[in-house]
Amino acid sequence: MSDLNTDVRYIKGIGEKKAQALNKLGVFSLRDLVSFFPRKYEDRSEMKPIALTCDGESVCVEAMVADTPRLTRVRRGLDLVKLRAVDDSGVLDITYFNQPYAKDNLHRGETYVFYGKIEANGPRRSMVNPVAEKADGEHRVTGRIVPVYRVAQGLSQRLMQQAVRQGLDACLNELPDILPHAVRERNQLAQTAYAFENIHFPKDFEALELARRRLIFEELFVLACALGRLRGERARESGIRMAKSDLDRFWAALPFSPTGAQRRAVAEAMSDMDSGAVMNRLVQGDVGSGKTLVAAALIWHCAENGYMSAFMAPTEILADQHYHTLSELLTPLGLRVGKLTGAMTAKEKRVVREQLKAGQLDLVIGTHALFSADVEYEKLGLVVTDEQHRFGVGQRSALIGKGQKPHVLVMSATPIPRTLALIIYGDLDVSVIDELPPGRQKIDTFAVDESYRARLNGFIRKLVGEGRQVFVVCPMVEENDELPQKLKSAEEHAEELQKEFPDLRVACVHGKMKPKDKEAVMASMAAGETDILVATTVIEVGVDVPNAALIIVENAERFGLSQLHQLRGRVGRGQHKSWCILVSDNDGEENRARLNIMTKTNDGFKISEEDLRLRGPGDFFGSRQHGLPEMHVADLGADVNVLQKAQQEATLLLANDPSLAAPEHAALRESVDRLLKVNADSFN
């Protein structure tokens, strides 16, 4: 019995029924079973004499059954088994409710270990429904640390524990060691069999820790190898080789000079594009750092080489805005710029599709519509995606599949802590824009509660009087929200503001509106025809209104820190002094602490690190939607040091054996292949 792919139903002791219950948990093979790690552990290792136990504590006692267990039927549906157990120190009264078989399992004169919760009444001690095992038999659920699993209907903890035990017994000594010898030794990691045994049935807490450390390392190491191999393969993949172009001509056409960080990012990307390999590069920069310009330079470079570019934005509004910005920058340089979004009419779309097919455009900007099946490109050389975290990564690859290996530039304003960027973008090269265009002022941020409402309204009045515009953001009100009456919906709040300021132009935009209507409202804001725009987070990303000098976030407790930071980036984009006011009536300590961070710093990276620390990585990324592979033991936020070690080891290993072809890496290669297959859409 050793093939890890064996179906669980053929494992000794697991029948058809249990197998079906296991399948519900995603456990199909022997490998799945032994890799189904406990959710937590219960420490049942403490053993006490009866007389020393205290009321309410859960504990093990070793005691002899002193009389024959008595079964009484109190009424229909209520059976009691009562018995008395003794040790040298005292007496324990035991009652089982509705477990008539306890009568036959426990025998007078024999000694058992009972685990349960003590009830103490003066000198008397009792337990209800304790688990029991013969004192001289094998201890699986008493006297030790016991695993607690996620279970499905038809499986009790006990059955689950048994199933895993049987699984381990079937393969423990034949589990392959995925880690190369040297790696294991250098990092002082436990052996495979030891790790699997002790992650399930730890001898003690030290053994559990050793097991965990080994398995976390292994998991992250496999991930690092997978990403490293992907990156290596791409680097060897030949792409369109572009000829150098005279960037100074491009810079000279701008209304301002590029920052050093922008120049650097462009140079790095251009050297990728000119290298003959395919570019896969992430440009990461805080809101307002000027990523669009970097994209524009590369699009121009591409056009100089006779290739077209596609620029993908996550929303209609952003596609529209990028269309305007990029047209303004690039048409004077002779580029032909088009747009393709879902909101366009069928006829408009057809025209653009024909232009694309005929190679009559140098740049097309759009949404998902860019990669629908009926769009064909002539000479697609570059794909740019903006705010990549909003796209399924699979969508990105759909567009990439359209050219012959076009270069890929991903732009993200999500200031992901650097350590995590390593994983999420592990298959990309990274340029960081760590410098804002000159003359930017700090956005003063305040956290206030309702008692400031009148002053806040006074402030709006004053700023609009000076010719500025104001954003007000309300949380999305879901229909199933428990407390909708306490949340301000954008529409209601807009009405209130209109009453408060009858002479001002108040507008409202939210996600449920038709794209055309949304665009009209945004356009009026951008044109300065709206004084106060009340919005849901549809404005979170990218929208540019340089005249806006104040953003107010209502129910700020409902937003994540990184989201607040993105929102704040909607102001301070012009020459005007700008403010961000976070309104929240929640004075929970945690909320205050969070909002305080916003008032103290404008640095997106710092904020995201705090956000991660406060919320944990699961919440931070909503796990899989960000393309993070699912981890079994490792915690991507907490195990950062291990991650770095694993990454180093993977780099070292791949340098010598880039495709893991060596026979001694066979088991590792298999694991890497499996990971890539399971996460196929994340890594493309």
Please give the size of the binding site for Mg ion, defined by CB under 5 A: 1
Two tokens, residue 671: 């694991």
Pair 391, 262: CB distance under 8 Å: no
Cβ atoms of 71 and 103 closer than 8 Å: yes
Rounded Cα gap, residues 268 and 183, in angstroms: 33
By beta-carbon proximity to Mg ion, the closer residue of 366 and 542 is 542
Which position among 258, 381, 403, 627 is part of the footprint of ligand ADP (CB under 6 A)? Answer: 258
Closest by CA to 549, choosing from 524, 528, 574, is 574
Angle 288-318-354 from CA coordinates, rounded to 5°: 130
DSSP designation for 596: H
Q: Cβ of residue 542: shortest distance to Mg ion, in angstroms? A: 4
Of 205, 276, 238, which is closest to residue 42 (Cα–Cα)?
Answer: 205
Give me the least distance between CB of 324 and ligand ADP, in Å please.
Answer: 11
User: Which one of Mg ion, ligand ADP, none interacts with residue 378, CB within 5 to 8 A by kind?
Assistant: none
> In the numeric block, which tokens belong to residue 441?
């002022």
| Binds 234: which of ligand ADP, Mg ion, none (CB < 5-8 Å by kind) | none
Q: Which stretch binds Mg ion (CB under 5 A): 414-422, 461-469, 534-542, 588-596?
A: 534-542
Closest distance to Mg ion from the beta carbon of 649 (Å): 37
From residue 436 to residue 475, the character string flagging contacts with ligand ADP as x (rule: CB under 6 A) and all else as - is -x--------------------------------------
Site string for ligand ADP, 290-319 (x = CB under 6 A): xxxx--------------------------
Contact residue for Mg ion among 228, 415, 542, 627 (CB under 5 A): 542
With CB cut-offs between 5 and 8 Å by kind, which of ligand ADP, Mg ion, none does residue 285 bind? ligand ADP
Which one of 286-294, 369-377, 548-556, 655-663 is the stretch in contact with ligand ADP (CB under 6 A)? 286-294
Nearer to ligand ADP, 388 or 584 (CB): 388
Q: Name which of 361 and 413 has its Cβ closer to Mg ion.
A: 413
- Determine the interface stretch with ligand ADP among 160-168, 281-289, 347-355, 419-427 (rule: CB under 6 A): 281-289
* Amino acid at site 118: I
Query: In the set 35, 284, 289, 536, which binds ligand ADP (CB under 6 A)?
Result: 289
74 C-beta neighbours (distance < 10 Å), count: 9
Q: How many CA atoms lie within 13 A of 128 on its CB side?
A: 7
For ligand ADP, the nearest residue by Cβ is 290
d(CA 381, CA 400): 10
Is residue 97 at the binding interface for ligand ADP, with CB under 6 A as the rule? no
Angle, nearest 10°, between helix axes 260-273 and 291-304?
A: 40
* 548-560 exposure pattern, b = at least 16 Cβ within 10 A, e = fewer: bbbbbbbbbbbbb
Question: Any contact of residue 259 with ligand ADP (CB under 6 A)?
Answer: yes
Q: Decide which of Mg ion, ligand ADP, none touches 287; Cβ closer than 5 to 8 Å per partner kind.
A: ligand ADP
Complex with ligand ADP: residue 261 or 636, whichever CB lies closer? 261
Tokens of 336: 């032909």
The CA-atom distances, in angstroms, between 146 and each of 42, 106, 149, 178, 629 are: 5, 22, 10, 27, 28
Q: Can you name the residues that pair with 532 across neighbouring β-strands?
A: 470, 506
Shortest spacing between CB 426 and ligand ADP, in angstroms: 23
Which of 164/266 has CB closer to ligand ADP?
266
Tokens standing for residue 385: 């995606």
One residue of 340, 413, 506, 525 binding ligand ADP per CB under 6 A: 413
How far is 367 from 392, CA to CA, in rounded Å? 13
Nearer to Mg ion, 412 or 530 (CB): 412
Name residues whose C-beta falls within 8 Å of residue 72's C-beta, 6 or more positions apart in sequence: 79, 80, 82
Measured from the CB atom, the residue of 245 and 547 that comes closer to ligand ADP is 547
Q: Which stretch binds Mg ion (CB under 5 A): 65-73, 156-164, 447-455, 540-548?
A: 540-548
CB of 436 to ligand ADP, least distance (A): 8
For residue 124, which phi and psi values (nearest 5 degrees)? -85, 140
Stretch of 297-305, 418-426, 465-473, 538-546 contacting Mg ion, by CB under 5 A? 538-546
Q: Exposed, middle or buried by CB within 10 Å (0-12, 13-18, 19+), for 129?
A: middle
Residue 256 makes contact with ligand ADP by CB under 6 A: yes
User: SS3 for 56?
Assistant: coil
Q: Which residue of the chain is nearest Mg ion when measured via CB?
A: 542
Q: How far is the CB of 272 from ligand ADP (least distance, A)?
A: 20
Tokens of 540: 């979170």
State which residue, 234 or 518, has the beta carbon closest to Mg ion: 518
Closer of 285 and 338 to ligand ADP (Cβ): 285
Other C-beta atoms closer than 10 Å to the C-beta of 151 total: 18
From the list 153-161, 254-262, 361-369, 397-405, the region that binds ligand ADP by CB under 6 A is 254-262
Contact region with ligand ADP (CB under 6 A), list: 24-32, 256-264, 267-275, 595-603: 256-264
C-alpha span between 140 and 165 (Å, rounded): 9
The CA distances from residue 312 to 134, 207, 346, 514, in Å, are 66, 50, 19, 20
Residue 408's CB is within 10 A of a number of other CB atoms, namely 23
3-state DSSP of 461-484? HHHHHCCCEEEEECCCCCCCCCCH
For residue 445, the surrounding DSSP H or E stretch is strand 444-448
Residues paired with residue 125 on neighbouring β-strands, in sequence order: 92, 120
Site for ligand ADP in 556-615 (CB under 6 A): 573
The stretch near ligand ADP (CB under 6 A) out of 62-70, 289-297, 588-596, 622-630 is 289-297
Q: Which of 285, 314, 406, 415 binds ligand ADP (CB under 6 A)?
A: 285
Residue closer to ligand ADP (CB basis): 53 or 262: 262
Size of the site for ligand ADP (CB under 6 A): 17
Count the alpha carbons within 13 Å of 624 in the hemisphere toward its beta carbon.
9
Q: Select 262 or 647, whichever has its Cβ closest to ligand ADP.
A: 262
SS3 640: helix
- Please report, as ranges, the residues that interact with ligand ADP according to CB under 6 A: 256, 258-259, 262, 285, 287-293, 413, 437, 542, 544, 573
- Please report, as ranges, the residues that interact with Mg ion according to CB under 5 A: 542
